[in-house]
Copies of this chain bind each other. A is one copy, B any other.
């Protein structure tokens, strides 16, 4: 079983406007709402692959009710979200029909109390015992300690599950000492966390701090991965126009599915690049283009660069 964790679940609202003009009023042509947050999006991509998952995390208030109502419509997802008193956050993405560009507004999320966090960690410990892979994705809501993911990584490992961590800043750095099996920063997050612009050097630093495998996503350039056994670059066969926000979640979904099946690089990287690329043409995170995915699975190039970067 794959367990996806979304500590700061969101209601993702997408507004279509003709053209975004600051300091004016806009008539919203279309408004879509759906459950989001990185872990929820990972579960959605897994559903699109025909794989079930268990969704846990924190939700609350009327926005939390809308999140859970929407999750019920996604095949294969079991809702094990833990309630909090505060109202879950909303994100608003304004998409300009004029040029397709997206402008995003992210609320911070509800304040989580120590008692609520304790209730969550108890639930997580019992869910992790049945999980083969646990994905830990996204920002932390206010009130949680920055080592929240470190705690969950340790609990998952004690339960025998493999962990995939996709977060940034202090929550990423504070979790490394707990030894997550895979961390997946994007290139900007990696540089921000390490202060180092060289992808291979920065990834090696995360490994030195405790990460098992580091998978770095670099948008249309694909992935760089370094494991205890080697390093690879994997690239899609072509550059795609669209919305890159869902590509990282699709990448995590592919890594989780591959790890659950016991697959390793380079095969799992090929899948991750193909699925990431298949997310780009879709306007909302969590969706993938199934035809593109099938086509790209055989067309991704994977280069073994073990010798060049012997970290």
Q: Is A62 an interface residue (CB 8 A)?
A: yes
Measured CB to CB, the nearest residue on chain B to A69 is B62
CB <8 Å contact, A31 and B102: no
Measured CB to CB, the nearest residue on chain B to A108 is B28
Known: A62-B66, A66-B62. A104 touches B24 (CB 8 A): yes
CB <8 Å contact, B22 and A22: yes
A31 to B102, CA, bound (A): 20
A20 to B104, CA, bound (A): 10
CB <8 Å contact, B101 and A23: yes
Oligomeric state, in number of copies?
A: 2
Measured CB to CB, the nearest residue on chain B to A63 is B62
Q: Is A103 an interface residue (CB 8 A)?
A: yes
Q: Which of A15, A92, A104 has the most CB of B within 10 A?
A: A92
The dominant DSSP class at the A interface is strand
How many whole Å from A226's CB to the nearest CB in chain B? 27
**B-contact 0/1 string along A206-232, CB 8 Å cutoff:** 000000000000000000000000000
CB <8 Å contact, A24 and B66: no
Beta-carbon contacts under 8 Å, A14-35 to B: 15, 17, 20-29, 31
Measured CB to CB, the nearest residue on chain B to A245 is B25
Q: Is A197 an interface residue (CB 8 A)?
A: no
Q: Is A122 an interface residue (CB 8 A)?
A: no
A107 to B16, CA, bound (A): 10
Q: Is A106 an interface residue (CB 8 A)?
A: yes
Beta-carbon contacts under 8 Å, A81-135 to B: 89-90, 92, 94, 96, 101-108
Q: Is A47 an interface residue (CB 8 A)?
A: no
Q: Is A65 an interface residue (CB 8 A)?
A: yes
Contacts of A104 in B (CB 8 A): 24-26
Contact of A28 among B28, B62, B101, B105 (CB under 8 A): B105
Beta-carbon contacts under 8 Å, A50-66 to B: 62, 65-66
CB <8 Å contact, B107 and A31: yes
Contacts of A94 in B (CB 8 A): 105
Measured CB to CB, the nearest residue on chain B to A19 is B22
A101 to B17, CA, bound (A): 19
Contacts of A62 in B (CB 8 A): 62, 65-66
